[in-house]
Amino acid sequence: MSNSEQRLFQQHLNGLQQLVQDILQTNGLDGIWIHAGEVQYHFLDDQPKSFKINPLFNYFVPHTQACGSWLYLDGVNKPHLYFYQPNDYWYLHEPVPQSFWTEAFQWTILKHADEIKSSLYKQSVDLNRTLYLGDAVQLAQSLGFTHINLQKALNYLHYQRSIKTEYEVHCLQQAQFAALCGHRAAKNAFFDGKSEFEINLAYLQASEQSDLNVPYGNIVAINQHSAVLHYAQLQRKSPAKRNSFLLDAGASYLGYASDITRSYSFDPNDEFAELVQRMERQKLALIDQMQPGYHYLSYHTMMQQSIAEMLHEFDLVRLSAEQIFEEGINRTFFPHGLGHLLGLQVHDVAGFQQNRRGTHKAPPEAYPSLRCTRNLEPNMVLTVEPGLYFIPLLLNPWRDHPLGARFNWQKIDCFTAYGGIRSEDNIVITADGAENLTQKAQTALNG
Ligand code: GLY
Ligand code: MN
Ligand code: MN
């Protein structure tokens, strides 16, 4: 795999070099410094926050443990990596990496953070013609940078990031495997009667992650907790009765994230289990229809219509699917977007950005939570994550509404104890359709 990774990475980097040239030319600049980031501390505390790499650094360098490192780019010469590796007996610093990508860079080892100053002045003739990209704005100012996180440059980079290279699709594909191993262990733990806390441990162990390096906080939700969209607690006690389980959890590969959700009914033969299966089928049917040239919003709308049909067919709302959709009742049950771009960030950049110049297109008023207003293009990677939830906060206003009498409250109240359903896969748009990265990895794992 490493040889092909090396080839894919070199192609990826060559494309980025071209992009750097464009950015420099358009903005009258000579070079770009990308700062991986610094150790940050909690307020009034000497405890460091867990380090999260600048995704722009990670876009060029497939290494997430590079706190204090810098990258210099001029778009022509080999990118120059100033890798921070201090002599330190308090913390262990990663050894200098030896991997498929390391030869693509010139290397300088920084033993002290201050050494970047002399490197900076040696490398950049005129700091007024040099761009800083990173979050240590005060440091950048003190070093003499005048161009800091220039929006025009960020727009270029973000737009490019929304169309993945072959190397990036490979990483996103690899990120599925660990997550799916975790999902399998978590499912077993749920059916074995374990608590949310214990299920989370099972997930972390099987996916070989710590809770500090998962790409986002795991959502491990039993029963009505799955109706809390970003449920972050982990109950240590098992509920007396278990109805349902929702797990939204991913993994990372060289910084690229997977974002996968599965839902289960504890009783595989009850009506909630039917609803779960139906949702799974709807998701896969929608993915089968996705293709370049169509607006992501159109697929979101189709899924909202499917939810209206499900509400009708499962006798949850006693109106036709068309009326349910017309009245927007489906939005009470599916109150989030169909999904989002996926990459180095779980909710990846440029979901609303229509071009390199940065034109922003907001989601429509009816769907304010939609995170993507783009036309689909080949090599975009997205999640597809329809949901159907029984959320008291959203349902209660309907109780006094003239249409409230059409709601099957008895059944809805019963399903409230199950919380909700979400099914989430990661897909890549191809030349004429969409490939399901999650399903592909699952098939490979099933062998
Ligand atoms: N895990 C967060 C999301 O699905 O968007
Ligand atoms: Mn998710
Ligand atoms: Mn997601």
The answer, yes or no, to whether any atom of ligand 1 lies below 6 A from the CB of 229, is no
Rounded to the nearest angstrom, the distance between the alpha carbon of 92 and the centre of ligand 2 is 32
Residue 271 CA to its chain's centroid (Å)? 31
Helices 392-399 and 409-416, axial angle in degrees (round to 10): 160
Q: What does the pLDDT read at residue 94?
A: 78
How much is the average pLDDT of 205-215? 95
Q: What does the pLDDT read at residue 67?
A: 94
When the pLDDT of each residue in the chain is averaged and rounded to a whole number, the result is 96
The answer, yes or no, to whether any atom of ligand 1 lies below 6 A from the CB of 216, is yes
Closest ligand 1 atom number to CA of residue 340: 5
Rounded to the nearest angstrom, the distance between the alpha carbon of 264 and the centre of ligand 2 is 15
Closest ligand 1 atom number to CA of residue 219: 1
CATH numbers and ranges of domains, the chain: 3-149 (3.40.350.10), 166-446 (3.90.230.10)
The answer, yes or no, to whether any atom of ligand 1 lies below 6 A from the CB of 348, is no
Q: What is the number of the ligand closest to the CA of 342?
A: 3
Rounded to the nearest angstrom, the distance between the alpha carbon of 249 and the centre of ligand 2 is 6
Tens digit of each residue's pLDDT (9 = 90 or more) over 138-187: 999 999 999 999 999 999 999 999 999 999 999 999 999 999 999 999 99
- 66 pLDDT above the threshold of 70: yes
Are 63 and 95 a contacting pair, CB within 8 Å?
no
- 74 pLDDT above the threshold of 90: yes
- 358 pLDDT above the threshold of 70: yes
DSSP string, 77-120: SPPEEEEE----SSSPPPPPP-STTGGGSEEEEESSTTHHHHHH
How much is the average pLDDT of 406-410? 98
Judged by DSSP in three states, 328 sits in coil
Question: Which protein residues have their CB within 5 A of the ion that is ligand 2?
Answer: 248, 259, 261, 424
Residue 71 main-chain phi, psi, to 5 deg = -130, 130
**Surface-to-core class of residue 155, CB atoms within 10 Å of its CB (0-12 exposed, 13-18 middle, 19+ buried):** buried
- 1 pLDDT above the threshold of 70: no
Closest ligand 1 atom number to CA of residue 249: 1
Q: Name the residue with the closest Cα to ligand 1, atom 3.
A: 259
- 198 pLDDT above the threshold of 90: yes
CA dist 135 and 237 (Å) reads 40
* Residue 419 confidence class, pLDDT cut points 50, 70, 90: very high
Residues across the chain: 447
Q: Is 322 annotated as a binding residue?
A: no
Rounded to the nearest angstrom, the distance between the alpha carbon of 397 and the centre of ligand 2 is 27
Query: Sign of the C-alpha dihedral, residues 302, 295, 434, 247?
Result: negative
Q: What does the pLDDT read at residue 93?
A: 82
Out of 216, 342, 384, 438, mutate this one to test ligand 1's pocket (max ligand atoms within 8 Å of CB): namely: 216
Q: What does the pLDDT read at residue 293?
A: 98
Tens digit of each residue's pLDDT (9 = 90 or more) over 3-53: 899 999 999 999 999 999 999 999 999 999 999 999 999 999 999 999 999
In the chain, pLDDT over 90 holds for what percent of residues? 93
CA dist 387 and 320 (Å) reads 20
From the list 223, 206, 225, 222, the residue with the least C-alpha distance to 214 is 206
Q: What does the pLDDT read at residue 123?
A: 83
Q: Is 259 annotated as a binding residue?
A: yes
